[in-house]
Amino acid sequence: MVKSPPDPSSFSLPGALRQEGLTQADYEEIRRRLGRDPNRAELGMFGVMWSEHCCYRNSRPLLQGFPTSGPRILVGPGENAGVVDLGEGQRLAFKIESHNHPSAVEPFQGAATGVGGILRDIFTMGARPIALLNALRFGPLEDERNVGLMEGVVAGIAHYGNCVGVPTVGGEVAFDPSYSGNPLVNAMALGLMETEEIVCSGAVGVGNPVMYVGSTTGRDGMGGASFASAELSAASLDDRPAVQVGDPFLEKGLIEACLEAFQSGDVLAAQDMGAAGLTCSCSEMAAKGGLGIELDLDRVPARESGMSAYEFLLSESQERMLFVVRPGSEEALMASFRRWGLQAAVVGRVLADNVVRVLREGVVAAEVPASALADDTPINRHELLSEPPAAIQAHWRWSETDLPVAAAEGITPASGPLAGQPLSWGDVLLRLLDDPTIASQRWVYRQYDHQVQANTVVPPGGADAAVVRLRPQQGEGALAAASRGVAASVDCPNRWVALDPERGAAAAVAEAARNLSCVGAEPLAVTDNLNFPSPDTPTGYWQLAMACRGLSEACRVLDTPVTGGNVSLYNETRRPDGSLQPIHPTPVVGMVGLVHDLDHVTGLGWQAPGDRLWLLGMPLAGSAEDGRLGLAASSYLESVHGLATGRPPLTDLSLERAVQGLLRQGIAAGLVASAHDLSDGGLAVAAAEACIASGLGAIVELPSGAGRLDRLLFAEGGARVLISLKPEQEQAWQELLATSPPPGPAPLATPIGRVAESATALSFEQDGTNLLSLAVEELRTSFEDALPRRLAATD
Amino acid sequence: MTIGVVVFPGSNCDRDVRWAAEGCMGIPTRFLWHEERDLSGLDAVVLPGGFSYGDYLRCGAIARFAPVLEEVAWFASRGGPVLGICNGFQVLTELGLLPGALTRNSRLHFICEPTGLKVHPGACRWLSDYGEAEAISLPIAHGEGRYQCEPATLEAMEQSGQVVLRYQNNPNGSVGDVAGLCNPTGNVLGLMPHPERACDSRTGGLDGQRLFASLLG
């Protein structure tokens, strides 16, 4: 029996519902499920468990379309992280998660605790974290607030990751005005399983002790999950107490102690306390196990005195976990945690009844059927527009013929900040390299320890994907040479998604797989982070639905099932005039792949003068009218002509498959000296980046009569990769090519030039006419200075 | 020959030192938990990088009270080779085995990148396999690596040849471009760069190998 007052008159119901992000209809449903009125603590439990963050109440029907199984998938969606089989007895846990709202309000701690949270998801499964990546989005750096947010976020990620001793090996950063005031901070972690059994979260064994380990429980982070499920406004700054404070030192000990504990075999189930803290972990463990949990708050290690049951239940204090353990093992387990300076206490037991019962000072403070909290959670039904919104349709009517003439000398934009200024193609390329989204991210990644654990094979910026050697840190194999690796990439072409969510999301998957293929890795599986504005508007829901459709289709064709991820909605800021600024819909795709032989890992920079250049994917000649490639929605169009418009190219998934397969075969055969995918800025930017990475120049020959020059240089799309080969390997390469049938009439690869023998300049030529020639140093200056110049004085 | 590797709760390069010494170079290692006191059978001790006890107060400030470090200080005083890398260097200065202190990098940011160094081995036994003024590259990875000391102290160390590693392009604002120091007797070396990250051709250069190899010499 619930003894604390269930009487709703003891608190203001409308206020409490607003605070918990619940509707009146939710309240009626809660009453129906309980058969009575909930008390305040119980209402708080429903508030977090029924938030988008915890139960996907808007996106769940859409997520059901994802392919989630495959021969290598050991754990799919629903657990703390996905797990894939790498063969040879090795298994990889991985997941991505957002910390957008906390980072908007308190960038340093918001980002730091985002890293801490995703690491816990990994080691809760019994895996030691071996790598971190992150995908970040900010508003333009011309606005000082965005500079402050970026500095804080990067410093926060660095603080946590560097201290906890997990290398941050890769990631991406992009900028758009839609992210002003609502930055995106998505952190991805990879871990190598160290336990025989994957540790799952469902409670087992009636009467078994429930143990609490890690840090103490305080008042920090109250209601973070509900907070993360609402839009941001100036008043959000008052929500700072909803942002938690992280302690990476404590987490370091927690990783070691948890992995030790799991290896003992005495931990039967584990759940980290992330969003909604004790409430969420108890409810999920109970619901997944089909059993109940009794939790005595008096035994929970508290950081401060006088906390109410409500505060205990909803605290999001960091670095905490809940275990179900084997009876009799409690003392040994607790001693091991104390050795690492951590809290450990038995705080409850597993019940036969499927309830979460919370005791406080000897009375029942809350008692809710676990299934009422965690099963059949409410779904917000939305109607899907039958055709694209009018504004999108208007964008799709844009055509390249609307642009000014592209002459051999260059172009004079008719729109944007450069309107009326004649630009050479060299001017255009330098401008693109200076675009913060394209430019070198060295300012960011040099703040991350990317080498700790001594397995980082490719430094950030050295290749299209991060590569980490699969040498365990602990136990058998830690001191043995290892020849295999895991590759990872995070990608999202958000401008494309904004202009066509289905095509953009498919392109995100294709690009992630292409990036992995460029280093020679076989793509295995996906974790996705859906960062979207409110789904409550017709356009918002259409974006979410179409992006899920594109993502599902691409994952299916490329054989990369989705093993889980995160949904972050209501990413929008309220402008002073009261209107809402939604972000670009940003479905970030985190993908992992297997490197079978580290000897063949391929970087993006040229390797030797005189090497031959080949373009994989759609050839330049004959592509003039093809919608799979173009200037629509391109970086060139936005950066040079001030236009974010057009319909982004259609991703040809069968061409992607064929190109990536050929590339991986060529790399495995040792034929490919360098490989770099064509992304923002197209061919010219890809070639420039390969020059900058190597210090070597290149000469690229463009075919004649192949359409607009700017399209040849800067078009995006077309499943394209620029590779270089030693001249003596060219014949073997052509033989391989001959045995790889393309899905269409065009060949899968065409020769387009060579690495310069002596000149340290990048040149583009057509019919003997030089269109562009720039010294590599000049390219490097634009590329490397873009971020430091804007982030100014401090570094 | 066995190297002891000290492990504080917040050490995070302990396993990397073990990999470099034992995995890459075949020199046996033994971990020394911070509460231990038994150094018997060890020929050298390494204080690895990391954040020892979280380092919220000041890097290495709490670590110096660890039981194991009393033994390490005693070991060093008898001429035993002691190497402090990054956070280990910070601990050595807090212990007083090396003078000065390490503070926040001049531009405040954490920096992780390869760094060019000049070696001046002098009497430092850890660097005996390097040539005078030899240029090498080792990675740095620190937020608090700016070496500071009294001008007179620096002057004295310059004179006695204790400034054994200097940055070629000072990344953190250290006085005298100091990247590494040894004690007057040459058995204690503290350095901010990570030699253990340069012992494996798969993940970096090999410029750090001779530092560990000197123990075998």
B151-180 burial: b if 16+ Cβ within 10 Å, else e: eeebeebeeeebbbbbbeebbbebbbbbbb
Chain B residues inside the 8 Å CB shell of A479 = 18-19, 22-23
Domain span at residue B181? Answer: 3-216
User: Is the pLDDT higher at A1 or at A698?
Assistant: A698
Dihedral sign, CA of A347, A352, A354, A359?
Answer: negative
CA distance A406 to A631: 13
- CATH classification at residue B147: 3.40.50.880
Query: Among all residues of A, which ones are annotated catalytic?
Result: 53, 99
* Of residues A670, A518, A520, A493, the one with CA closest to residue A586: A493
The predicted-structure confidence for A31-58, as pLDDT tens digits, reads as follows 999 999 998 888 888 887 888 777 888 8
pLDDT at res. B60 = 64
What residues contact residue A662 under an 8 Å CB cut-off, 6+ apart?
A616, A736, A737, A740, A748, A749
Is 50 exceeded by the pLDDT of residue A5?
A: no
The burial of A308, by beta-carbon neighbours within 10 Å (0-12 exposed, 13-18 middle, 19 or more buried), is given as middle
Of A253, A446, A454, the CB nearest to B19: A454
The predicted-structure confidence for A167-183, as pLDDT tens digits, reads as follows 999 999 999 999 998 99
DSSP state of A79: B
* Of residues A625, A645, A624, the one with CA closest to residue A634: A645
CA distance B208 to A696: 28
CA distance A723 to B178: 42
Read off the pLDDT of each residue in A123-135 and give the average, rounded to a whole number.
96
How many residues are there in chain A?
Answer: 795
Query: How many Cβ contacts (< 8 angstroms) between chains A and B?
Result: 99
Nearest residue in chain A measured CA to CA from B55: A249
Is 80 exceeded by the pLDDT of residue A222?
A: no
ipTM of the complex: 0.95
* Of residues B201, B159, B193, the one with CA closest to residue B176: B159
Model confidence at B76, in pLDDT bands (50, 70, 90)? Answer: very high
For the entire predicted model, the pTM comes to 0.94
Residues A209 and A330: beta-carbon distance below 8 Å: yes
Residues B113 and B139: beta-carbon distance below 8 Å: yes
The burial of A14, by beta-carbon neighbours within 10 Å (0-12 exposed, 13-18 middle, 19 or more buried), is given as exposed
CA distance B10 to B49: 9
CA distance A138 to A180: 6
Of A249, A446, A454, the CB nearest to B51: A249
Task: Determine the straight-line distance between the first and last CA of chain A, rounded to whole angstroms.
Answer: 61
Residues A2 and A367: beta-carbon distance below 8 Å: yes
Residues A215 and A343: beta-carbon distance below 8 Å: yes
The identity of residue A597, as a single letter, is: D
Is 80 exceeded by the pLDDT of residue A363?
A: yes
Backbone phi, psi, residue A355, to 5°: -130, 155
Cβ within 8 Å, pair B141-A341: no
Residue A111 tokens read as 């980002």
User: Is the pLDDT higher at A69 or at A315?
Assistant: A69
Read off the pLDDT of each residue in A705-724 and give the average, rounded to a whole number.
95
DSSP state of A133: E
Chain B, 25 to 64: residues with Cβ < 8 Å from chain A are 49-51, 53-56
Q: Give the distance, in angstroms, between the CA of residue A579 and the centroid of all CA atoms in the same chain.
A: 28
Is 80 exceeded by the pLDDT of residue B177?
A: yes
Residues A59 and A551: beta-carbon distance below 8 Å: no
Residues A324 and A350: beta-carbon distance below 8 Å: yes
Residues A299 and A210: beta-carbon distance below 8 Å: no
| Count of structural domains, chain B | 1
A155 touches chain B (CB under 8 A): yes
Facing residues of A80 across strands?
none
Read off the pLDDT of each residue in B103-119 and give the average, rounded to a whole number.
93
What residues contact residue A116 under an 8 Å CB cut-off, 6+ apart?
A160, A164, A246, A248, A251, A318, A319
pLDDT at res. A232 = 60
- Rg of chain A's alpha carbons, rounded to an integer? 27
pLDDT at res. A481 = 87
Read off the pLDDT of each residue in A293-312 and give the average, rounded to a whole number.
89
Model confidence at A309, in pLDDT bands (50, 70, 90)? Answer: confident
A791 touches chain B (CB under 8 A): no
DSSP state of A584: P
Read off the pLDDT of each residue in A496-523 and give the average, rounded to a whole number.
98
Chain B, 140 to 169: residues with Cβ < 8 Å from chain A are 141, 143
pLDDT at res. A231 = 62
Residues A177 and A97: beta-carbon distance below 8 Å: no
Q: Which of A450-464, B49-63, B182-196 has the lowest mean pLDDT?
A: B49-63
Most confident option among A33-42, A258-267, A369-378, A667-676: A667-676
Residues B101 and B149: beta-carbon distance below 8 Å: yes
pLDDT at res. A371 = 83
Residues A431 and A142: beta-carbon distance below 8 Å: no
DSSP secondary structure, B91-148, as one string:
HHHHHTSS-SEEE--TT-S-EEEEEEEEE--TT-GGGTTSPTTEEEEEEEEESS-EEE
Nearest residue in chain B measured CA to CA from A455: B203
The predicted-structure confidence for A599-635, as pLDDT tens digits, reads as follows 999 999 999 999 999 999 999 987 777 889 999 999 9
Cβ within 8 Å, pair B16-A452: yes
